[in-house]
Structure 1
Amino acid sequence: MFTFRLLLKNAFRHKLRTLLTLLGLVVAVCAFGLLRTIVDAWYAGVEASSSTRLITRNAISLTFPLPLNYAERIRAVDGVSSVSWANWFGGVYITERNFFAQFAVEPESYLALYPEYKLSDAERTAFIRDRQGAIVGRKLADKFGWKLGDQIPLRGTIYPGTWNFTLRGIYDGADASTDESQMLFHWKLLSERMRQRAGGGAGTANYVGVYVVGIRDPDAAASVSQRIDKLFQNSLGETLTETEKAFQLGFVAMSDAIIAAIRAVSLIVILIILAVMANTMSMTARERLAEYATLKALGFPPGFVVRLLFGESLLIALIGGVIGIALSFPLAAAFRTAAGTLFPVFQLSELTLVLQLVAAAGVGVVAAAWPAWKMSRIDIVDGLRHVA
């Protein structure tokens, strides 16, 4: 207790310098945590993916659709337990700023493949029965103030026209990693409208964007994928089947340069505050040269001086780190609100909190290393001469 009081008194001997150092630490720890969380949010879809789901798309590009009749052939593949499909819609709600994901799906089979979307039986039934119906995630409903029975108009971009949907359900995620900022509606409604637009012909009405394939054994994902792709080899619509995680990583890979830049900036922030902290501890050591020499003259070993410097540096660093971590929560909440549905999942992870604390402690240790080594080797006579 005596040592702690001594360290606390030493740490705040120069209050302005210490407070400015703490401010820098708090800003650095908050920035580090926020940047780490942004990177985590980019990978949220990857982390939330299921090992029992495969995604089958056109081998050329995701923009090329696949025939609807592929569904039955995929369902017959050994190892496949269920099949559903989805189309990206890309509609606009009021203004382009209100971006959120919209998918036209086959309701029963799609919801069966995504048990993490928690929906009441009544809402599920209402959605399945209403061709004009739609369901949205809780986060999206809260953002726009939607309630069951509300009309949701979308202006089509990929599929032109005005599309009106009736909100039949609001789903909650099974855990924090579940995307609650998307909208699902009937693929058949999309197909019918496209058929009407084509003047009764099939056109693109009998095509889907991707197939979602449920498999019985996650360990057989590679072999099942190969069997599906082999089935459509040399056809007009060859397929590429991969795990849901690999499919999500494909989108993340498009932003590799941005993610690398964010990670680099987070490290640079820590290095900058390390330099500031090291300067603070060096100034502290120089100012107390005579004190440390006196302690050695009184018989205190060099290790005691080292412990004083390391202890003071760690104390300042940990105080700044704890305050920075505490402020990271409201900062992340404010960023999540400002970002809207850009990041469906945005929350501070336990790993990020641990890394923030480790970074703060690391700064405290490294910053005190050189001053502590130098003070441990101080000559008593030179130190006392400094007093004169």
Structure 2
Amino acid sequence: MLIKLIIRNAFRHKLRSLLTVLGVAIAILAFGLLRTLVGLWYLGVEQSSATRLVTRNAISLVFSLPISYKDRIRQIDGVKQVSYGNWFGGVYINEKNFFPNFAVEPQSYLELYPEFVLSPEQKNAFLHDQRSAVVGRKLAAKYGWKVGDLITLKGTIFPGQWTFVLRGIYRGAQKNTDETQFFFHWKYLNETLKRTVSRRADQAGFYMIGVEKPELAAEVAQAVDATFRNSLAETLTETERAFQLSFVSMTEAIMIAIKIVSYVVIVIIMVVAANTMAMTARERIAEYATMKTLGFGGRHIAAIIFGESIVIAMIGGVIGILLTYPAAHGIQEKLSQFFPVFNVSPMTVYLDLLAALTVGVVASIFPTWRGATIGIADGLRRIG
């Protein structure tokens, strides 16, 4: 009976209740999207392998390293695999069509990144065609590319028109694997540079190192940097996680601001919901007093008011969560070059539910106390 009364009271003033539900839903939607954005900003860090190291020029990532370093790195104890590559920085047709594209040593790179899954036929075709390229499934879908298509990128770091044959479309081994990248043969880039800008040839922008065991990562990193200390191109070697964090740290202030905004949104809707519940309780003071004369205790009144607030908040929360999924899909479709993966994680859903529950609880505190403690005579004497 009490539950039925709570539900009926929650929607006695339909317009007011619907507007409150809508407000909570929009707040939870905004909160969920902002928390998803923050989570995705750290996605590269979370997906980093404990057995992969990144070696770059100690001065800056924009400076390259001699390709001859690979043989010396291979000789270091604990090193299992070495690959290398360059950030290419090309664009498709115009600058608006930007996506991550790399020139890599294909065999070792694919071995170091098993999360990029290619069929055996496509992998074999890619490895044996120097002008070939591999792209992620989402990137291929965006531009309508098919295996066998010719794709021309306009170079920015390496000027010119670069044409590739698409030999493979990879899929991610996990749901959150980036499927918007473009890989081609480092040798194709290098041979072209030898003919055009020879001083830029035989250089690698980075080395990817696979270590035998995660516990050897720090020792191997120190050994690599010690090998090239006092050389013309000293190195900085760090775990893949630390490498990703170095980029994330550049925007740490922005992430903190987004987190603060997400909490402010919830606080605002708390105030709105609390005002609505206070208004409702004030209008029903006489009713609560009448209920007390019929034998309802203060705990019954408190349960009704508290339950009403929770029902409204949780309905709004559930609607907000349901709206988050199509909204996230729309963001990924429109802004795939910035957010190649925009999946709502289970943790975000749990935080949404917790936020909605918090709104309901906080909004009901004062009205619940007021309704439960009002005296019968004072309540019956009150009008409005």
Corresponding residue of 1:105: 104
CA contact 1:192–1:205 (8 Å) conserved in 2: yes
More deviation, 216-225/140-149 = 216-225
Which one-letter code corresponds to 2:9 in the other structure? N
Please give the alpha-carbon distance, in whole angstroms, between the structure 2 residues aligned to 1:95 and 1:39.
29
Structure 2, unaligned stretches of length 5 or more? none
CA contact 1:116–1:174 (8 Å) conserved in 2: yes
1:5-16 alignment to 2 at 5 Å? 5-16=4-15
TM-score, normalised relative to structure 2: 0.98
CA contact 2:221–2:238 (8 Å) conserved in 1: yes
Query: Per-residue CA shift, 1:312-353, capped at 9, x if unaligned?
Result: 000000100111111111111111111022112110000001
Please give the alpha-carbon distance, in whole angstroms, between the structure 1 residues aligned to 2:366 and 2:249.
41
Corresponding residue of 1:293: 289
Q: Secondary structure at the match of 1:180?
A: coil
Does residue 65 (structure 1) correspond to residue 83 (structure 2)? The answer is: no
Please give the alpha-carbon distance, in whole angstroms, between the structure 1 residues aligned to 2:231 and 2:313.
63
Which one-letter code corresponds to 2:372 in the other structure? S
Does residue 225 (structure 1) correspond to residue 221 (structure 2)? The answer is: yes
Please give the alpha-carbon distance, in whole angstroms, between the structure 1 residues aligned to 2:285 and 2:351.
34
Query: Per-residue CA shift, 1:152-194, capped at 9, x if unaligned?
Result: 0011111011000000000000011211100000001111111
Structure 1 residue 46: Cα displacement: 1.3
Please give the alpha-carbon distance, in whole angstroms, between the structure 1 residues aligned to 2:383 and 2:26.
37
Corresponding residue of 1:86: 85
TM-score, normalised relative to structure 1: 0.97
1:181-192 alignment to 2 at 5 Å? 181-192=180-191
Identity, in percent, stands at: 57
Corresponding residue of 1:357: 353
Please give the alpha-carbon distance, in whole angstroms, between the structure 2 residues aligned to 1:338 and 1:107.
30
Which one-letter code corresponds to 2:211 in the other structure? I
Structure 1 residue 297: Cα displacement: 2.5
Does residue 238 (structure 1) correspond to residue 234 (structure 2)? The answer is: yes
CA contact 2:190–2:202 (8 Å) conserved in 1: yes
CA contact 1:131–1:189 (8 Å) conserved in 2: yes
Structure 1, unaligned stretches of length 5 or more? none
Corresponding residue of 1:176: 175
Does residue 376 (structure 1) correspond to residue 368 (structure 2)? The answer is: no
More deviation, 34-43/75-84 = 34-43
CA contact 1:47–1:177 (8 Å) conserved in 2: no
CA contact 2:54–2:237 (8 Å) conserved in 1: yes
More deviation, 369-378/305-314 = 369-378
1:141-160 alignment to 2 at 5 Å? 141-160=140-159
Structure 1 residue 387: Cα displacement: 4.9
Query: Per-residue CA shift, 1:169-220, capped at 9, x if unaligned?
Result: 000000112111000000011111111113xx4x121110010000011122
Please give the alpha-carbon distance, in whole angstroms, between the structure 1 residues aligned to 2:215 and 2:302.
55
1:174-323 alignment to 2 at 5 Å? 174-198=173-197, 201=198, 203-323=199-319
CA contact 1:314–1:364 (8 Å) conserved in 2: yes
Which one-letter code corresponds to 2:19 in the other structure? L
Q: Secondary structure at the match of 1:100?
A: coil
Corresponding residue of 1:326: 322
Which one-letter code corresponds to 1:128 in the other structure? L
Q: Number of paired residues?
A: 384
Of residues 337, 341, 362, the one that matches 2:337 is 341
CA contact 1:99–1:342 (8 Å) conserved in 2: no
CA contact 1:32–1:267 (8 Å) conserved in 2: yes
Structure 1 residue 295: Cα displacement: 2.0
Question: Which consecutive aligned stretches of 4+ in structure 1 deviate over 6 angstroms post-superposition?
Answer: none
Query: Per-residue CA shift, 1:360-385, capped at 9, x if unaligned?
Result: 01100000011111222212111111
Which one-letter code corresponds to 2:228 in the other structure? F
CA contact 2:176–2:343 (8 Å) conserved in 1: no
Structure 1 residue 296: Cα displacement: 2.2
Does residue 42 (structure 1) correspond to residue 32 (structure 2)? The answer is: no
Which one-letter code corresponds to 1:37 in the other structure? T
Please give the alpha-carbon distance, in whole angstroms, between the structure 2 residues aligned to 1:168 and 1:87.
20
- CA RMSD between the two structures: 1.1
CA contact 1:55–1:213 (8 Å) conserved in 2: yes
Q: Secondary structure at the match of 1:356?
A: helix
